[in-house]
Structure 1
Amino acid sequence: MKTKYKLQLPNQYNLLFLFIALLLSSCVPTTRITGTWKNPDAASKNYNKIVVAALTDNIRARETVESHMQAQFRARGVEVARSIDLFPPTASSKGGPDIDLLIDKMKVQNYDAIMTIALIDEQTETRYVPGTYGYAPITRFGWYGRFRGYYSYWYPTLYDPGYYTEEKIYFLETNLYDEDTENLVWSAQSQSYSPASLRNASEKLAEITVSRLAQDGLIR
């Protein structure tokens, strides 16, 4: 009878693999929710028709964020309108659409909630990336005796010096307001760490926000 053996790596290799995985993951841009709040006094209901409004004068950012939120809501069967469609930007408009006009339009079109997305803070973090050695080994003791061997032994040991890098951290707040009462029913604080692009950060923010809303029972 043949005995089957299971290949097992030594513990130090497992630890090294874990360390490398953690190191690589720490360098990847991330967007995550850091905290949520749900109004305990709000009526228990699912919202089926929502207006999303990114609170920024940057037209491109407003359109991008609202579009990604709209796509995530629609994937769950929620009807959504972008504020940029209800009130297209003009050269003279500053600070977003008039709040009274927005609420009136929501009532007329039977929207039951409005979601706002705002950048509330931005920080720059300086991080030191340490230098590394690269080593190309040769046969043991192969360099003893002659300069050529010694030089050839040590030269492949290369050093890549360390350096400083700046990372951007963005703090965002997403609020959901009931249209009838205008009360805040749900709020989430999010953090986007060194996003590769506005699009990447916006897509991830929409995904995790809508998922949490469903988890908290506010949408289907």
Structure 2
Amino acid sequence: MPHRLILTLLAALFLLAGCGGMSTIKTSWRDGADTAGPPRKLAVFVAVKDDNLRRMAENRVAQSLQPSLAAQAAHQLGLEAQLDTPEVRTRLTEAGFDAALLARLVSVDKTQSLVPPQPPFLPEPFLWRRGPYPYFSPFYPFHPFYPYAYTTPQVIEDTRVIVETLLYRLPEGKPVWSAVSESFNPASSSEVVEDLIQLIGKRLRDEGLLPGR
């Protein structure tokens, strides 16, 4: 296999390995006095500026909770993501909701870092070459080794998406659980949503605040 093709494949594998997103819960809190257990009917709110993203995210969260829990997206109820207003809480209570889950986008932070030029770590067999000349012979041209001796500097951009998720009891509108999560280098908004559905859902189930599947 040509040396340049080998380098190209290695670079592609490195980039693919670095593109995947990863979400983690950085901090969480629970009201120790709350003993109500899983809700019976849950309203799902996602507070973001993009209305299409909000609708998609609310729908996916609600779908992920069904059928073990009666859950409905807030936009389908004609409600804005504002649980601090008595009108919203009253409408939810009258409709039979005893809890609400609110996910709020806190920030999208982008940082850049410069990776300086450096020799790649390639095993010695990559440098083997047939021919009568030994390495570093005065008759052996240097240019075949140039791609393996130097790399160009690269600017790497990292993205961190911070989301706060809260569980409220109704009709009081009192938060009883919250978590701040971080998604690192997500490929898309959809990936953040799917990651958090799994991550937050598991944590809430583990703490007895959502019914098991």
Sort the TM-score into its range (normalised by shorter chain).
0.7 to 0.9
Structure 1: which 4+ aligned runs deviate by more than 6 Å? Answer: 21-24
CA distance in 2: counterparts of 1:161 and 1:136, whole angstroms:
20
What is the 5 A alignment of 1:25-64?
28-64=20-56
Amino acid at match of 2:59: S
Counterpart for residue 11 of structure 1: none
Contact 1:129–1:162 (8 Å) recurs in 2: yes
Q: Report SS of the residue matched to 1:150.
A: coil
CA distance in 1: counterparts of 2:25 and 2:18, whole angstroms:
17
Contact 2:79–2:88 (8 Å) recurs in 1: no
What runs of 5+ residues in structure 2 fail to find an aligned partner? 1-12
Correspondent of 1:144 among 123, 137, 141: 137
What is the 5 A alignment of 1:39-188?
39-74=31-66, 77-87=68-78, 99-131=85-117, 132-133=119-120, 136-138=127-129, 141=134, 144-146=137-139, 149-151=140-142, 154-155=145-146, 157=148, 159-188=150-179
CA distance in 2: counterparts of 1:118 and 1:193, whole angstroms:
17
CA distance in 1: counterparts of 2:147 and 2:155, whole angstroms:
25
CA distance in 2: counterparts of 1:73 and 1:82, whole angstroms:
11
**1:158-200 Cα distance to aligned partner (Å, 9 max, x none):** 5331211222212110000001322111101101112110111
CA distance in 1: counterparts of 2:56 and 2:14, whole angstroms:
31
Amino acid at match of 1:204: D
Contact 2:83–2:89 (8 Å) recurs in 1: no
Percent of residue pairs bearing the same amino acid type:
20
When normalised by structure 2's length, the TM-score is 0.77
What runs of 5+ residues in structure 1 fail to find an aligned partner? 1-20, 90-94
- CA RMSD, 1 decimal: 2.9
CA distance in 2: counterparts of 1:155 and 1:165, whole angstroms:
24
Contact 1:31–1:204 (8 Å) recurs in 2: yes
Amino acid at match of 1:49: K
Contact 1:137–1:153 (8 Å) recurs in 2: no
